[in-house]
Amino acid sequence: MKRLINWLDQLVNLVAIASMFTMVILVFMNVVLRYAFDSGLPWSEEVSRIAFVWVVFLGIIIANRDNSHLRVDIIVSRLSKIGQKITGAIAGIVTVLVLISVLIGGSKLIALTHAQGLPATGIPTSVIYIAGVMSCSILLIGIIAKIFKKKENQQ
C-alpha cells in the first residue's frame, strides 16, 4: 500500500508540474503573439484552461497529503481531546461522503460529455471532469491510507 501511495504522490507531482508549465508557457506565448503580432493561438486558451483545472484538482491532493488545507479551528481547539477526536471523525466521514458524491456526479458528467468537443481544439469536454473524478479517487485512497496508518500506530 505504501508503494502505491508513493507512486501516486510522484505521479500527482509530475502531472501538476507539467500542467502548470504548460499553462504558463501557453499564456505567455499567447500574450507575446497578441501584443507583438496582433494574432494569437485560438486553441491555447482552451488548453491553458484545461491545464488550470488539472492544477487546481491536483493541488487539492497535494494540500491534503501535506495537511496544508486552510482550516478554522476556533471551536475545535477549545474542545477536549475526546471532543477533538469526535469532530475529526465526523469531518472525515463527511469528507468521504462528499468525495463519493463527487465521484458519482463526475462519472455521470464524463459519460454525458465524452462525445462533446471543445470549440477550438475538439478535445473532449470530459477531460475537464476527469480531473475531478481522478482527484476524488486519489483523495479517497489517501484518506483510507491515513486511517490504516493511524490504526497501525495505535497498536
Mean pLDDT of successive 10-residue stretches along the chain, which has 155 residues: 85 95 94 90 92 95 87 88 90 92 95 92 93 93 81 68
Residue 109: enclosing H or E segment and its boundaries?
helix 81-113
- Residues 6+ away with beta carbon under 8 Å from 76: 83, 84, 87, 88
What is the structure's pLDDT at 125? 93
What is the structure's pLDDT at 63? 92
The alpha carbon of 22 is separated from its chain's Cα centroid by a whole number of angstroms, namely 17
What is the structure's pLDDT at 82? 94
What is the structure's pLDDT at 53? 96
Q: How far apart are CA 109 and CA 147, in angstroms?
A: 30
Q: Which cell numbers hold the place of 20?
A: 502548470
Residue 153: enclosing H or E segment and its boundaries?
helix 126-154
pTM for this entry: 0.85
Per-domain residue ranges of the chain: 2-154
